[in-house]
A and B are shown apart, each in its own frame.
Chain A
Amino acid sequence: MVPEMSDHSGTSSLSEDSTQRPLSRRQVFEQRQKRRSLLIALASSLAVIGLLVVLIPQTPGWYKVKRSFFNGPILDETFPALLRAFVKDIQIFLWCAPCILVLGMLLAICRNVRSPLLFPLRLFAAAYTDIFRGIPVILTILLIGFGIPGLGMDRPWNSPYLWGSVALILAYSSYVSEVFRAGIESIHESQRAGARSLGLSTSQTLRHIIIPQAIRRVIPPLMNDFVSLQKDVALISLIGPIEILRQAGIDKSKYANFTPYVGAAIIFLLLTIPETRFVDHLMSRERRRTSGTAVR
């Protein structure tokens, strides 16, 4: 990869200056340095990629791998069905995400209550997050997805979509509640003092002063969790629904070829790479805002 050069905000003002007066010796030096590091990055990337492109096809099994994983005609044939199945993943994501946000926030608030009367709530929230953070998501999905329909309830209460989604919501709300909790705890005590000194109650302080600031602060890490959720929706395939991973599995058996898996991976990347880039952008903006200029 080529390093991002656009980050050096100094470049534009430099070139503006240069129209008025010649560059100083220092500026000439820095420009040369910048060009040099760009060239080195480019050359080393090309060398590595070129080596891989030349070497991998030399391996004895390459022609087999190519046939069963990177098979163009099969990809063409299966891709539309994969895309259609992916709509299901997006649907599941879209109804899970708001539930996770609300439940995660409620849990975080429960863990912050100080009243002794509400201690059971706090205990419950702590146990909840401990349990669901400690179990692999896939196990939660299997246990809930196979366990609860076993109670023999009628449609729609035995739907794997429903219980798969519930499992995702349980697991992810515990992660998200930890993010919210960290955000709430990161707000400086002086904000609380400022609010309380005006006569605001504990809950008014939480609602109007602490939580709005906490949410702003945790948006980037929160987005990270939602990118993970986007991928983990595919785990629901294990309990039945025909979403993209399951569809890929069906096509794999049909064609006796792994290319549909590669197709599914491509579809995920088309969505998650822009998402993660966006999160990175948010995070670096937050970092610039809070920690001043970068040191070279």
Chain B
Amino acid sequence: MTPKILLDDVHKSFGTRSVLQGISIEVAQSEVIAFIGSSGSGKSTLLRCVNLLESIDDGAIFLDGVDISAPGLNPDPVRQRIGMVFQSFNLFPHMTVLQNVSLAPHKVLGQSKKESESHARELIARLGLSDRADGYPDQLSGGQQQRVAIARSLAMNPEVMLLDEITSALDPELVGEVLDVVRELKSNGMTMLLATHEMGFAKEIADRVCFLHEGQILECSSPKEFFTHPTHQRTQQFLQRVTEAGRL
């Protein structure tokens, strides 16, 4: 079976700074992969490359066996199929929650305004934000904003979701409500790549956990294996530090 997503020896550098140095990974349909690693290890850049927000220097990225990193390819149709949620939400502050969620289906998928809004209301209700639909993002808590951002992404019916440290900007007591949404996505069979600092969550939700260090995947294994018997010395050191900081 063709993997849903395939990264083949992906390289990316910003100027002289090499951020991704040969990333290769296969992601099956409905698989959830958690990328962990210290800041600057390339987690975010990796996700941004998959969504074509960054162009890669070498290698290739395939979606359902089709090379989406081919030069000259229009990124817009690809992005419709791959949703992305950002650390800092990136909601549109001049639009209501409903407008944030219904904009892209209306403008990009060509749904009628009515259709896109009724679909958006359903999604907003599903994420428990019905009473906030007509409010603006800055009237919401961080957790609510991030749930809106997820709804906005889901409104496009993506086949894959990229979650870039979606709980890092939240107060600890708001993390749970956002992670609940991700659990629901997993139970619906969504293919997801997530960059995270929430080790407990990665352990619980991921099918595989991958450790990134200096732009390379050092190891990738089931959560149980990964957290109990890390093989690589760097992974051991990282997990040790995380444990000492009380995050595991």
Measured CB to CB, the residues of A under 8 A from B are 190-191, 193-201, 204, 208-209, 212-213, 216
Contact = CB atoms under 8 A, between A and B. Distances in A.
A197 B103 contact: no
B57 to A, nearest CB: 19
Given A196-B53, A213-B94, A204 B86 contact: no
Contacts of B153: 197-198
Nearest to A204: B107
A198 to B, nearest CB: 4
Interface string B38-79: 000000000010010100000000000000000000011101
Task: Name A's interface SS.
Answer: helix
A187 to B, nearest CB: 10
Contacts of B107: 200, 204, 208
Nearest to A202: B76
Contacts of B91: 194
A199 B53 CA distance: 11
A222 B60 CA distance: 47
Nearest to B93: A213
Contacts of A212: 94
Given A198-B104, A199-B80, A204-B108, A193 B94 contact: no
Contacts of A201: 76
Interface in B119-152: 149, 152
A241 B52 CA distance: 58
Nearest to B108: A199
Contacts of B83: 197-198
Contacts of B90: 190-191, 193-194, 197
B153 to A, nearest CB: 7
B84 interface: yes
A196 B53 CA distance: 8
A3 B88 CA distance: 40
Interface centre among A191, A194, A196, A209 (most CB of B within 10 A): A194
Contacts of A199: 76-77, 79-80, 104, 108, 156
Contact of A209 (B75, B77, B88, B92): B92
Given A204-B107, A208-B103, A208-B107, A197 B79 contact: yes
Nearest to A194: B90
Nearest to A190: B90
Contacts of B48: 193
Nearest to A289: B138
Contact of A194 (B75, B76, B77, B92): B92
3 closest A-B pairs by beta carbon, nearest first, are A194-B90, A199-B80, A198-B104
A272 B153 CA distance: 48
Contact of B53 (A193, A204, A209, A213): A193
A209 B90 CA distance: 11
Nearest to B84: A197
